[in-house]
C-alpha cells in the first residue's frame, strides 16, 4: 500500500486504517481471532491501527496490545486510540478534563502494552469542559513523550476552528487530525468539516465508511433486515419503520446496482468513494471477522472515474445525510430543550 502523510505530523500511514471497535465484547469476543485479524492486516500492508478505551471497556485495546506484543512490529505501526467515553460508575471516569485524560492515558498504555501512543484522540466534544483545559493536558502528555500527536473525533467544524484558535492563542499543541463519520450515505461533513480540515492541514480518518453495515451488501430491498451486534446496541439506526432508514435502503439499492455495473463489490465501491475525497487520509475499516477484513482489503486500489462519482452524486447528493443521528454527535443545544427555549 502506498503511504500517505498523516496531516502535517510527518508520519506516513497506509491508505486504510484498521479499526478495532468490533474486537472484543462489542463484536468478536475471541481474542485469538482478534489477534489473527490484526496480524493479517499488518501482513497486507496496513501500518495504521485505531482503537479507543471505551471499546468493550478496554478489551479492544487489550487485544491490540496482545497482537502487537506477539508480532514484534510495534515500532512499525502508527497506533491510535481515543479518550472521552464512560469507563466506570464514577462521574469523573469519562470526559475531556485534565484529571481524566492524564489518568486514562496511563491505563491505555498498559492495555496496549506500549510506552507511547502515536495519535491520541478526543473521542467527542464536551461543551462543559474548556477546550484549552483539554489541549493543555494533551500538550503536556506530548512533551512528556507519552503521546506523539493528538487529534479529535466527530467534532463539528466550528469546534475544530475554536480548538485551532485556542492552540494559537495559548501556545499549545493543536489537533492535527479529525475522525468524522463519512460514507456514501453520510455526506454531511462535505459541507464544512472536510473543508475546515483541509484549511488547517489536518489529517482525516473517516469512521464507518460502510455506514455501520448499510453498505456491506447485506441490506437490500425485499430482504429481511440482517441482524448484527451493532443493531442490537443502537436499534433506531437500523429500524426500517423509520422514513429516513427507508430512504437509506432506497439509496443502497441504487448504489448496489451501480457497483454491479462496475463489476466491483459494494464494499469496495464504498471505501473507494471515501478515499476519493482529497481531504481524506485513510478510512477506518472495522472488521468483526477475517472474512470481513478480506472483503475490504484491496479497496485502496480502486480508482473511481469522474463519471462514476457523478452517478453517485445523483443518488446521494453532496453534503447529504439522511438523519441527524448519522452525524454521530448531537449538540446539547439540540438535545436539551431548555437550552433553546425561553420558558
CATH superfamily of 4-332: NADP-dependent oxidoreductase domain (3.20.20.100)
End-to-end CA distance of the chain: 57
Backbone CA torsion sign across 124, 38, 270, 244: negative
pLDDT score recorded for residue 161: 98
Locate all alpha helices (DSSP H) within 221-305, ordered by sequence: 229-233, 243-262, 266-275, 290-296
Q: Is 79 helix (H, G, I), strand (E, B) or coil?
A: strand
The Cα-based distances of 337 to 44, 223, 332, 333, 334 in angstroms read: 49, 38, 9, 7, 7
For 311, counting Cβ atoms within 10 Å of its Cβ (0-12 exposed, 13-18 middle, 19+ buried), the class is middle
The Cα-based distances of 155 to 165, 180, 192, 270, 306 in angstroms read: 15, 7, 11, 23, 30
| Predicted confidence pLDDT, tens digits, the chain (343 residues) | 899 999 999 999 999 999 999 999 999 999 999 999 999 999 999 999 999 999 999 999 999 999 999 989 999 999 999 999 999 999 999 999 999 999 999 999 999 999 999 999 999 999 999 999 999 999 999 999 999 999 999 999 999 999 999 999 999 999 999 999 999 999 999 999 999 999 999 999 999 999 999 999 887 876 777 776 677 777 778 888 899 999 999 999 999 999 999 999 999 999 999 999 999 999 999 999 999 999 999 999 999 999 999 999 999 999 999 988 899 999 888 989 998 898 7
**CA gyration radius for the chain?**
19
Number of H helices and E strands in the chain, helices first, is 12, 10
pLDDT score recorded for residue 214: 94
pLDDT score recorded for residue 62: 98
Strand partners, 285: 18
pLDDT score recorded for residue 287: 97
Locate all alpha helices (DSSP H) within 84-192, ordered by sequence: 98-112, 131-143, 157-170
Backbone CA torsion sign across 274, 277, 282, 284: negative
What is the C-alpha to C-alpha distance for residues 186 and 181, in angstroms, rounded to an integer?
7
* The three cell numbers locating residue 116: 507511547
Give the dihedral of Cα atoms 80, 81, 84, 87; nearest 10 deg.
180
pLDDT score recorded for residue 296: 98
What is the C-alpha to C-alpha distance for residues 178 and 3, in angstroms, rounded to an integer?
18
Domain map of the chain by residue range?
Answer: 4-332
pLDDT score recorded for residue 314: 98
Global pTM value: 0.95
Q: Which residues, at least 6 apart from 68, have a Cβ–Cβ distance to it below 8 Å? A: 38, 74, 77, 79, 112, 113, 114
Backbone dihedral region of 262: left (phi > 0), alpha (psi from -120 to 50 degrees) or beta? alpha
What is the C-alpha to C-alpha distance for residues 213 and 289, in angstroms, rounded to an integer?
13
Give the residue from 180, 184, 192, 204 showing the smallest Cα distance to 327: 180
Q: Which residues are catalytic?
A: 55
What is the C-alpha to C-alpha distance for residues 259 and 273, in angstroms, rounded to an integer?
11
Axis crossing angle, helix 243-262 with helix 306-315, rounded to the nearest 10: 160
Q: Which residues, at least 6 apart from 236, have a Cβ–Cβ distance to it below 8 Å? A: 242, 325
What is the C-alpha to C-alpha distance for residues 203 and 155, in angstroms, rounded to an integer?
14
What is the C-alpha to C-alpha distance for residues 293 and 295, in angstroms, rounded to an integer?
5
Amino acid at each position: 500500500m502506498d503511504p500517505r502523510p498523516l496531516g502535517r505530523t510527518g508520519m506516513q500511514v497506509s491508505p486504510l486504517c484498521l479499526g478495532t471497535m468490533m474486537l472484543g465484547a462489542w463484536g468478536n469476543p475471541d481474542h485469538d481471532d482478534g489477534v489473527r485479524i490484526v496480524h493479517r492486516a499488518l501482513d497486507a500492508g496496513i501500518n495504521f491501527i485505531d482503537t479507543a478505551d471505551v471499546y468493550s471497556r478496554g478489551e479492544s485495546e487489550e487485544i491490540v496490545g496482545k497482537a502487537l506484543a506477539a508480532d514484534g512490529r510495534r515500532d512499525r505501526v502508527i497506533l491510535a486510540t481515543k479518550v472521552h467515553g464512560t469507563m466506570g460508575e464514577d462521574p469523573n471516569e469519562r470526559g475531556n478534563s485534565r484529571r481524566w485524560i492524564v489518568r486514562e492515558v496511563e491505563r491505555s498504555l498498559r492495555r496496549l502494552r506500549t510506552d507511547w501512543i502515536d495519535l491520541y484522540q478526543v473521542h467527542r466534544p464536551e461543551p462543559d469542559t474548556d477546550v484549552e483545559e483539554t489541549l493543555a493536558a494533551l500538550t503536556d502528555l506530548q512533551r512528556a513523550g507519552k503521546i506523539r500527536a493528538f487529534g479529535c473525533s466527530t467534532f463539528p467544524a466550528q469546534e475544530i476552528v475554536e480548538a485551532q484558535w485556542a492552540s494559537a492563542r495559548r501556545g499549545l499543541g493543536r489537533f492535527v487530525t479529525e475522525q468524522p463519520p463519512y460514507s456514501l450515505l453520510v455526506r454531511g461533513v462535505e459541507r464544512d468539516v472536510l473543508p475546515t480540515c483541509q484549511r488547517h492541514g489536518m489529517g482525516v480518518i473517516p469512521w464507518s465508511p460502510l455506514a455501520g453495515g448499510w453498505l456491506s451488501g447485506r441490506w437490500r430491498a425485499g430482504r429481511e433486515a440482517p441482524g448484527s451486534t451493532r443493531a442490537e446496541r443502537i436499534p433506531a439506526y437500523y429500524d426500517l419503520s423509520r422514513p429516513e432508514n427507508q430512504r437509506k435502503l432506497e439509496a443502497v439499492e441504487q448504489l448496489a446496482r451501480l457497483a454491479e455495473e462496475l463489476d466491483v463489490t459494494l464494499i469496495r465501491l464504498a471505501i473507494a468513494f471515501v478515499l476519493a475525497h482529497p481531504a481524506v487520509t485513510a478510512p477506518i475499516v472495522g472488521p468483526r471477522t477475517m472474512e470481513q477484513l478480506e472483503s475490504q482489503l484491496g479497496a485502496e486500489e480502486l480508482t473511481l472515474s469522474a463519471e462514476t462519482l457523478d452517478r453517485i452524486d445523483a443518488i446521494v447528493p453532496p453534503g447529504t445525510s439522511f438523519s441527524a443521528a448519522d452525524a454521530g454527535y448531537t449538540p446539547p443545544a439540540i438535545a436539551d430543550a431548555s437550552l433553546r427555549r425561553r420558558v
